[in-house]
Homo-oligomer: A and B are copies of this chain.
Amino acid sequence: MANEQQKREVGEEEEQVVNPWEVTAKDGGKIDYDKLIEKFGCQRLDRSLVDRVERLTDRPAHVFLRRGVFFAHRDFNEILDVYERGEKFYLYTGRGPSSEALHLGHLVPFMFTKYLQDAFKVPLVIQLTDDEKCMWKNLSVEESKRLARENAKDIIACGFDITRTFIFSDFNYVGGVFYENMVKVAKCVTFNKVVGIFGFTQEDHIGKISFPPVQAVPSFPSSFPHLFPGKDQLRCLIPCAIDQDPYFRMTRDVAPRIGYQKPALIESSFFPALQGETGKMSASDPNSAIYVTDSSKDIKNKVNRYAFSGGQDSIENHRKYGANLEVDIPVKYLNFFLEDDAELEHIKKEYGAGRMLTGEVKKCLIQVLSELVERHRQARAAVTDEMVDAFMAVRPLPNMFS
């Protein structure tokens, strides 16, 4: 009853749903990220933090950082304090391997994580939650494991440094201290608590209810005794999309109670669907996304046919009023992937003023995406099964803190 009462009181705010399995904006509109920050209780990643990153790493911040794709954080400043003192930390990110081909939205956290790894020279663990997908998508264990390996190839193609990167799938790695930590976390979280955080119901199977600790424990260095022996208090930074925040709210709540450090987070907004910015891309609608397996012809066709345009309905009106950049998907995509700041500014200015037409912007986007996807395709083709085995081998990382 209290819940219904609460719902009535918060009113319309409840209409925006963001959790690991659902991202739905209010009334089919855009996700309100300010409200999300407030609701989740994380902090906005402001310009001064970006400046500090540039100062500490002595290189320009990644496009995703300086253009606000990664827009929220938890204790990222503490990670920078650690780094500034000459100490180290480690990175943790992951993926639920539900589909064979990744789309561009899937690449965002990995591209950003690679930048962080290169800039800070720190070790990285990447979790493939094949167990989660086996349970949520009702895939067989074998199919889930196969998809994990396929996805690992795309992840490796993002250019991670094998001397600093450990990739693991839950089905292959759960056990030992990792499992001990799962039990330690599970002891601290009631069923009522996971109902509150994740929205589980009594009709849900106990596999779902058991899962949150599995995604929680890579936040603790002791889960990787082959990587961080004797470094149980090493800090962890998690780059992820903000829909994963519930897992790590739970993790941060539990961490001090079991003698561990809270993981820090740096969180991104969602990569929009071609049809418009109302949520994440959907793997179930192939025309809502550009896949890393799409040909240049596919990309051209999808961008031209489906990318929602902020341009006006006639050339005359367009010249007169200019494009609405707030809703224009080609511009949003360029904001992610066109690295040249000056060129991007030029396009925004000209397109916004109506001097540039949608077709010209789309042509630029098609070229940027085709190059990106072609580069990825070549990199992925070079990833052998032996390399996957090497990245996933349980081993010390020789180059970890140098």
A175 within 8 A of B: yes
A176 within 8 A of B: yes
A171 / chain B contacts, CB cutoff of 8 Å: 179-180, 183
Residue contact B206 to A202, C-beta cutoff 8 Å:
no
Tell me the complex Cα distance, A200–B190, Å.
Answer: 11
- A residues sitting closer than 8 Å to B (CB atoms) are 131, 134-135, 138, 141, 170-176, 179-180, 183-184, 186-195, 200-207, 209-210, 212-213
Contact in complex: A203, B180 (CB < 8 Å): no
Contact present for B141 and A180 (CB under 8 Å): yes
A295 to chain B, nearest CB (A): 37
Chain B min CB distance to A179 (Å): 5
Q: Could you list 20 examples of A-B contacts with CB < 8 Å?
A: A131-B183, A135-B186, A141-B183, A141-B184, A174-B175, A174-B179, A175-B175, A175-B176, A175-B179, A183-B207, A186-B207, A189-B206, A190-B205, A191-B200, A191-B206, A192-B202, A192-B203, A202-B202, A206-B209, A206-B213
A203 touches B175 (CB 8 A): no
The chain B residue with its CB closest to the CB of A212 is B206
Which 10 pairs of residues, A with B, have the shortest CB-CB distance?
A175-B175, A186-B207, A210-B210, A187-B207, A141-B180, A191-B202, A174-B179, A192-B202, A186-B206, A131-B183
CB contact between A205 and one of B141, B176, B188, B207 (< 8 Å): that residue: B188
A200 vs B191: C-alpha distance when bound (angstroms):
10
* Given A171-B179, A183-B135, A191-B191, A209 contacting B210 (CB threshold 8 A): yes
Which residue of chain B has its CB nearest to the CB of A141? B180
* A174–B191 alpha-carbon span in the complex (Å): 23
> Please, how many angstroms separate the alpha-carbon atoms of A187 and B131 in the complex?
10
Cα A183 to Cα B205 in complex, Å, equals: 10
